Amino acid sequence: TQLLEQSPQFLSIQEGENLTVYCNSSSVFSSLQWYRQEPGEGPVLLVTVVTGGEVKKLKRLTFQFGDARKDSSLHITAAQPGDTGLYLCAGADRGSTLGRLYFGRGTQLTVWP
Amino acid sequence: EAGVAQSPRYKIIEKRQSVAFWCNPISGHATLYWYQQILGQGPKLLIQFQNNGVVDDSQLPKDRFSAERLKGVDSTLKIQPAKLEDSAVYLCASSASGNSYGYTFGSGTRLTVV
């Protein structure tokens, strides 16, 4: 059973298009992180969101944490081929001090030139 | 700063054989994690160390998997005997504070069991 559901599972778009990836759960998280993973590499942290309703921007990437801290979205504006990769969301257990993260299955994004 | 180092990068073994993976975390990081990532899925925590002590091994299949972190630095993860379903990427991560905010992952070891 996946604690975090990501959608869509696969996304294939042309350079310049916009896209949104969703991460949903029935559980409340103390924080939520987004990672990007390229083939043969480990996940690389993009952002951590902590406060319900929080919005963070990282160049063309916009991350939002839901008001109830159960869901999050990642929006990419004007996607580029360099954005290609597996995008993973991960939630930290509310109330836990152990540092354990629960990961979604990921969204595989392919951006064509 | 140097990242999390893992070796080997790839390993192919036959079922029922044993295998060991090695991880060297970022210097000074007290917390070390081993995650298993099966193809098409997100990483799943196997075991978490705080210095050289285990703080969470609830998801570790202890009948075949074992891990240690001697002296609170390097760590090894062992599988004995391996099963076909153990084929996955084994990721090591470390953090300074253990509060989920500052994970750094290694490149992983891709294990194929045939």
Q: pLDDT confidence of A92, banded at 50, 70, 90?
A: confident
Give the integer Cα–Cα distance in Å for B39 and B83: 16
A7 touches chain B (CB under 8 A): no
Per-residue confidence (pLDDT) for residue B47, from 0 to 100: 95
Q: B108, A100: Cβ pair inside 8 Å? A: no
Higher pLDDT, B101 or A107: A107
Q: A1 pLDDT exceeds 60?
A: no
The arithmetic mean of pLDDT across residues A90-111, rounded, is 83
Q: B48, A100: Cβ pair inside 8 Å? A: yes
Could you read off the pLDDT of A11-59 as tens digits, one per residue? 999 999 999 999 999 988 888 999 999 988 999 999 999 889 999 999 9
Name the residue facing A99 among B9, B91, B99 (closest C-beta). B99
Q: Among B100, B101, B112, which would you mutate to test the A interface (most chain A Cβ atoms within 10 Å of its Cβ)?
A: B100
- Sites in chain B below the pLDDT cut of 50: none
Per-residue confidence (pLDDT) for residue B103, from 0 to 100: 84
Give the integer Cα–Cα distance in Å for A38 and B75: 24
Per-residue confidence (pLDDT) for residue A2, from 0 to 100: 59
